Amino acid sequence: MSTPSATFAVWVSAWLNGSAASDDVLDALTHWAPLHDVVAVGQPTADSLDVPLRGQAGGQVAGLLAAVRRAECTGGRLVLPVPGDVRGLGGRSEFAGTALHAGEAVVLLGAPIGLVPEPIADGVLRWTAFDIGDAPAAEHMPLGEAEHELTGAMRVAAGVLTELGVAKHRSGVREEITARVAHRSAAPWPEGTPPRALRVLQRANEVSAILDLAAEDAPGGALSSSSARRRADALRPLFDAVRVARLAAVDEAVRVFSDHADKH
């Protein structure tokens, strides 16, 4: 998967709808860090979730899952905010600011709770819970449309990046990309995750690995100011396409697990 929030959203949705066990959720999260804990912002949120208040030692994710079940949540929604596009977070709030800084969050469906994961120490990921009130509904992006946009953006940018010579002087580029994709694709998925969603996320991982390499290689072959602008212009739609593709794929997986529950 692409982020801890994506892992949490899909696995919790599968668990809440009878397609996975709680231990499966906990095991899947260890891909991102060996240890996870939970704190809440505000005493009412801490009390409702039965987790420690921020500033105290973190509680266990297993306790958070039990609270999610008690709250009758139906799943999780992935949010990947970036400057200029914070859809799904509502208005200005501490939750929105923290999620924007982290670049990701989970909004629980059926409960006014948002979760933001952030590393706090080597091997430790902390989930901070916020009371977010009535979170706005996310815009639905059909998975097929997201996949088409990702493929198109990749085709256009690849030509420009080749022309500008990005990373051409860097040895072992293909091996680096392969290793990055392998790590991002190693996290387990619940049984029953739609194959098309998996395919889109795999492609998004591939494109993301190339983008990261291009960013590290800056300025790469773009030696003139005009080339630098062209390089940035080529990368920008790719970043957007990767983000939208991941959102659409996770949304599709959550929808499928929810539909599975409705049929039983």
pLDDT value of position 107: 94
Element spanning 36, H or E: strand 35-40
- Write phi, then psi, for 40 (nearest 5 degrees): -125, 150
Distance CA 105, CA 36 (A): 15
- Beta carbons of 47 and 59 less than 8 angstroms apart: no
Domain residues of the chain, as ranges?
A: 4-138, 143-246
One-letter amino acid identity for 153? A
Beta-carbon count within 10 A of 53 CB = 14
One-letter amino acid identity for 2? S
Per-residue pLDDT band for 261 (boundaries 50, 70, 90) equals: low
Per-residue pLDDT band for 226 (boundaries 50, 70, 90) equals: confident
Would you say residue 166 has pLDDT above 60? Answer: no
